[in-house]
Amino acid sequence: MRTVFWEDDKVKMIDQRLLPGEFVIAEFETVEGVARSINEMYVRGAPAIGATGAFGMALAAQNSPAIDRNSLLADLAAAKELLDAARPTAVNLTWGTRRLLELAERTLLPELDDIRSALLAEAQALADEDVEINRRMGFNGAAVIPEGANLLHHCNTGALAAVDFGTALGVAFACQEQGKPIHVWVDETRPRLQGARLTAWELMRAEIPMHLIADNAAGHLMRTGKVDVVIFGADRVAANGDAANKIGTYKLAVVARENGIPVYCVAPTSTVDLNLAHGDLIPIEERGAEEVTGIGEKLIAPEGVPVYNPAFDVTPHRYLTGIVTEEGICYPPFTKSLAEAVGKAQARVEENRKARG
């Protein structure tokens, strides 16, 4: 099933905070609730957050008491501001909310209920496109994975991080569909353990060979020749190819370069922010101390200990072999190849929109 979806006039999603112990579908009837679901990580992963933001905008339109166009647009602008603030690093969130707001601003539909219906249809189209995009991206990435390769993967980028199929982990799923044998080393990914809780769960369900490792084991595996390719996703990619991803990604890329191992970032073009020249301009979200000082309800650090908890780091583009997108693999110079990929993707979206009428 999909990670996030619309049903019964509600935004519904898998509550990823509870996996792997419990499988629960959470549902939200207000924009405030959807924003909270993003901030508190019921849903996470850049593409999934983008789809959730779009559905949140559709929900805002449905719930708006507006009786004229300008009032509806004002309500949607307020909803966008609330949703965008939920997590600042993932550009897909602002991309999804902006796509819905821009549709509302340019539509010539005279009736407010027709505009509301059009926004819901657009959010659903965005979610459907995400699945198609991820499959194309996965198979593009699979082309550079040797048969029998050992992949090192950080955080969670599978179906749970998207609407379905996934980004970097989608490469592993594509290899499986092609009958290409692979093995995945799964970083536990402290402090929220997305690798241990989510990636391991997805790979075991798919019966893809894998081993869970402590984050600090990755360097040892690379030095001893047990890693062939490093893959990870991204929450935002700057115009020059610098990639923000879950904290700990940067050191993996550096150690991989030291050991001559190719490194691929796997991200849809919706994650590429051509408005940011380089990665130092990407806002880095800082999260609460409790994520570091405890695991679940168990305290693992002294009470009152000072904590610094950045959720992401930036990997400079020089450490990336390539960036896998739905439009193909981008290679250096990334300023050129990423811009071309984004242009192709935008043209495809516009074609699809025209086809829908």
Model confidence pLDDT, tens digit, residues 214-228: 999 999 999 999 999
Would you state the pLDDT for residue 353?
Answer: 76
pLDDT reading at 32 higher than 70: yes
Q: How confident is the model at residue 106 (pLDDT cuts 50, 70, 90)?
A: very high
To which CATH superfamily is domain 4-135 assigned?
Answer: translation initiation factor eif-2b, domain 1 (1.20.120.420)
Residue 350 has pLDDT above 90, yes or no: no
Catalytic residue among 164, 235, 273, 313: 235
Q: What is the CATH number of domain 136-349?
A: 3.40.50.10470
List, for residues 287-318, the tens digit of each pLDDT value: 999 999 999 889 999 999 999 999 999 999 99
Please determine, for residue 177, whether its predicted confidence score (pLDDT) is greater than 70.
yes
Residue 356 confidence class, pLDDT cut points 50, 70, 90: confident
What are the structure tokens assigned to 186, written together? 């799964």
Encode pLDDT of 110-124 as tens digits: 899 999 999 999 999
Question: How far, in Å, are 80, 183, 191, 249, 331 from residue 180 at the CA level?
Answer: 43, 10, 32, 26, 24
State pLDDT tens for residues 36-58: 999 999 999 999 999 999 999 99
What are 228-280's pLDDT values in tens digits?
Answer: 999 999 999 999 999 999 999 999 999 999 999 999 999 999 999 999 999 99
Total-model pTM? 0.93
What are the contacts of 100-108 at 24+ separation with CB within 8 A?
100/54, 100/57, 100/58, 100/76, 101/57, 101/73, 101/76, 101/77, 104/61, 104/72, 104/73, 104/76, 105/73
Q: What is the pLDDT of residue 296?
A: 82
> Is 114 a residue of the active site?
no
pLDDT number for residue 297? 84
Both tokens of 23, joined, read 């499988």
DSSP H or E stretch at residue 41: none
Specify the pLDDT at position 1.
Answer: 83
What pLDDT is recorded for position 357? 66
More confident residue, 63 or 108: 63
Tens of pLDDT, residues 317-333 = 999 999 999 999 999 99
Q: What is the DSSP string of 195-234?
A: IIIIIHHHHHHHT--EEEE-GGGHHHHHHTT--SEEEE--
Exposure b/e, 117-132, CB count within 10 A at least 16 = b: ebbbebbbbbbebbbe
What residue ranges do the domains of the chain occupy?
4-135, 136-349
pLDDT of residue 332: 98
Taking residues 325-344, what's their average pLDDT? 98
